[in-house]
Amino acid sequence: MRKFLWLVPILGLLLVLAAGCTAAPAPAASTGDAAPQAASGEPITVRVSTIAEPSTLDPNLAEDTYSITPIEQLFLGLTNLNNETGVPEPELAESWTVSDDGLTWTFNLRKDAVWSDGNPVTAKDVEYSVKRAVKPETASPYAYVLYLIKNAQAINQTVLPTDTYDIDTLGVKAVDDYTVQFELEAPAAYFESISSMWTLRPVPSWVIEEFGDAWTDPANIVVNGPYLLKEWKPAEQLVFEKNPTYFKKDDVQIDRVELDVISDQNTELALYESGDIDVAGDNAGSFPIEALTRIRSDATLSAELHEGPRASTTYVGFTMTKPPFDNVLVRKAFSAAIDRATMVKDVVGTGVPATQFAPKGIFGAPDPEVGIASDVEQAKAWLAEAGYPDGEGFPTVTYRYFSSTLEEALAQALQAMWKENLNVDVQLESMEFPAFLASTAATVPVEEMPEMWRLGWGADYPDENNWVYEVFHCTDSQNRPCAECTEADELAKAAGRETDSAKRIEMYRQVEEMMFGDEVRVAPYYHRGFTILAKPYIERAYPAFAPPNWDTWRVNQ
């Protein structure tokens, strides 16, 4: 039996930051360095922002960073990914062991964790949550990350109402009140990182059974993390307050966090400069380039700017079942026509160009990169071979993205590149984030889908399994491009179960080349970096991929 308290390689991302168009507001007077409420003795409040509203606060239903960030503050994971190192550390689980064959994981829970209504947090709550996430009726968009658990895939993919399943055959069991055990389909060291994820965090069964879908409303929600949800004004603000029942409440310094929904990043920057928010840019890929250029050249703002790598990639998605993108040559042409270096340098201002999905630092990510490089002449040749020489006869197609200042700039740049390089017309369509996400699901009828759409992926844990398999597998993921099953899918699944590291690396290189170079399920075009402004009195970590832990932040008095 092997015993673990901390284990998993530290994420070593080495993204090169570049300097880099969108109108920015005129500079406003900065509000000095005084900490909020520090001098008055009132509760310490920190004001932060997000460019999109959460689509849900239900851990079993969340799939996007705008939902996962607040969930991180409300619900405990079995483990937590340390914001500075990326290494799993104890949270609800004090320790865990793994059987010698790697198939049985046993987590020993702390006994002083309680729900905000006073009930103890037990192993039964973990078991309930995992079973709820896997049940097909729940329709959890992230259930596939649990397919490593014994019988999870078979249960989750049960065709209802014709077929039935036995949820008690799922490989999760509360051994006693404070011990939960998982049986896996195959050995996987990265299950330790999966144990930190929101999908299997304990949820309060009694509250869900009483209130149904309304259980996450501020008036009903029961949590076990460092913060309570006190208010949720749709499309405007969420308010969080320190949880008095949290087992480490004495270590939480910030009493109140106000999360403002601000989709216009120029407005966000103006509010930061006027002192109306304390942290800006935390939930965005980057500030628009003109704003970022001004920030970097401003003595005060540049000192408050924090930049670094995100284990995250932005890509153009193709609806592979909808003409003309059912033709691989068209997909190849559109990918090669993207000037990736210009996108990074002149539109984003941070990150590095990408031709593959996973960035350096993710285990198994090819180095050097594979995929389709920017090549206008090759793009034209592919489009001509597809039957559209110089764009002749090519239909007008739609590119859909979610509303934000940066995303609009990126969409306009892509539109211009495709027009200039391929002589095709692409119409742009923006939507608010929750509606956008729902509109691009693989379950949406093909006639309602746009031909192309913008999405990105940020690492849940630093392993290629979380990238190519859990995002693009033809049956074991959401498979938003609606790709048919190929050898790439078989190889991606096999790589996750391979125990020889060298073999896994080579297998993932082949999968990346197949999916994004040969089949072109999507067109990755940059690995993101972050640009975050924080007032001088805010002391915090800037994680590469894990959600920020507000409970570890400090306001210097």
**Does any domain span residue 32?**
no
In the numeric block, which tokens belong to residue 471?
């995002």
Q: Report the 3 state secondary structure along 102-117.
A: CCEEEEEECCCCECCC
CA neighbor of 317 nearest in space, from 261, 241, 398, 255: 398
DSSP codes joined into one string, 135-204: SGGG--TTGGGGTTBTTHHHHHT--TTTS---GGGSSEEEEETTEEEEEBSS--TTHHHHTTSGGGS---
Give the residue numbers spanning the domain of 469: 308-530
- Please report the pLDDT score of residue 39 as a whole number: 55
- Please report the pLDDT score of residue 34 as a whole number: 64
Q: Are residue 216 and residue 323 in the same domain, yes or no?
A: no
Helix (H) or strand (E) holding 309, with range, is strand 305-318
Distance CA 437, CA 458 (A): 15
CATH code, domain carrying 225: 3.40.190.10
**Does any domain span residue 8?**
no
CA neighbor of 526 nearest in space, from 390, 284, 292, 357: 357
C-alpha separations of 213 from 60, 72, 138, 207, 216 in Å:
12, 20, 11, 10, 7
In the numeric block, which tokens belong to residue 307?
């930049």
CA neighbor of 145 nearest in space, from 104, 106, 190, 79: 190
Q: Please count the structural domains in the chain.
A: 2
Q: Are residue 317 and residue 255 in the same domain, yes or no?
A: no
**Does any domain span residue 234?**
yes
In the numeric block, which tokens belong to residue 489?
């899918």
- Please report the pLDDT score of residue 15 as a whole number: 30
CATH code, domain carrying 476: 3.10.105.10
- Per DSSP bridges, beta strands 397-402 and 452-458 are parallel
Residue 269: CB atoms within 10 A of its CB come to 28
Q: Are residue 328 and residue 415 in the same domain, yes or no?
A: yes
Q: Are residue 333 and residue 478 in the same domain, yes or no?
A: yes
**Which amino acid does the sequence have at 29?**
A
In the numeric block, which tokens belong to residue 47?
């004001």
Rounded to 10 degrees, the C-alpha dihedral 116/120/124/127 comes to 40
- Collapse the DSSP code of 399 into the 3-class scheme (helix H, G, I; strand E, B; otherwise coil) and give the result: strand
Domain stop point among 226, 261, 296:
261
| 110 and 162 Cβ atoms separated by less than 8 Å | no
Helix (H) or strand (E) holding 314, with range, is strand 305-318
Q: Are residue 230 and residue 319 in the same domain, yes or no?
A: no
Q: Which residues contact 132 (CB under 8 A, 6 or more apart)?
A: 60, 138, 140, 203, 205, 208
- Collapse the DSSP code of 76 into the 3-class scheme (helix H, G, I; strand E, B; otherwise coil) and give the result: coil
Q: Are residue 380 and residue 507 in the same domain, yes or no?
A: yes
Distance CA 51, CA 279 (A): 12
**Does any domain span residue 223?**
yes
**Residue 499, by phi and psi: left (phi above 0), alpha (psi -120 to 50) or beta?**
alpha
- Collapse the DSSP code of 517 into the 3-class scheme (helix H, G, I; strand E, B; otherwise coil) and give the result: helix
Angle at which helices 501-513 and 487-497 pack, to 10 degrees? 160
Q: Are residue 401 and residue 333 in the same domain, yes or no?
A: yes
Q: Are residue 525 and residue 412 in the same domain, yes or no?
A: yes
- CA 479 vs. chain centroid, Å, equals 16
- Please report the pLDDT score of residue 300 as a whole number: 97
| 318 and 451 Cβ atoms separated by less than 8 Å | yes
Q: Are residue 324 and residue 238 in the same domain, yes or no?
A: no
Mean pLDDT by runs of 10 across the 557 residues of the chain is 34 30 35 59 93 95 95 98 91 98 97 98 98 97 95 96 96 98 94 95 98 98 98 97 98 98 94 97 82 96 94 96 98 98 94 96 95 98 98 98 93 98 98 93 93 94 94 95 98 94 97 98 96 97 90 94
Q: Are residue 443 and residue 381 in the same domain, yes or no?
A: yes
Residue 552: CB atoms within 10 A of its CB come to 18
Q: Output b/e per residue, 336-360; b: 16+ Cβ within 10 A.
A: bbbbbeebbbbbbbbbbbbbbbbbb
| 180 and 126 Cβ atoms separated by less than 8 Å | yes
**Residue the block writes with tokens 């995250």:** 312
**Does any domain span residue 83?**
yes
**Does any domain span residue 60?**
yes
Q: Are residue 484 and residue 348 in the same domain, yes or no?
A: yes
- Please report the pLDDT score of residue 285 as a whole number: 66
Q: Are residue 358 and residue 473 in the same domain, yes or no?
A: yes
| 300 and 92 Cβ atoms separated by less than 8 Å | no
**Does any domain span residue 121?**
yes
Angle at which helices 328-336 and 405-422 pack, to 10 degrees? 110
**Does any domain span residue 150?**
yes
DSSP codes joined into one string, 9-28: PPP---PPP-------PPP-
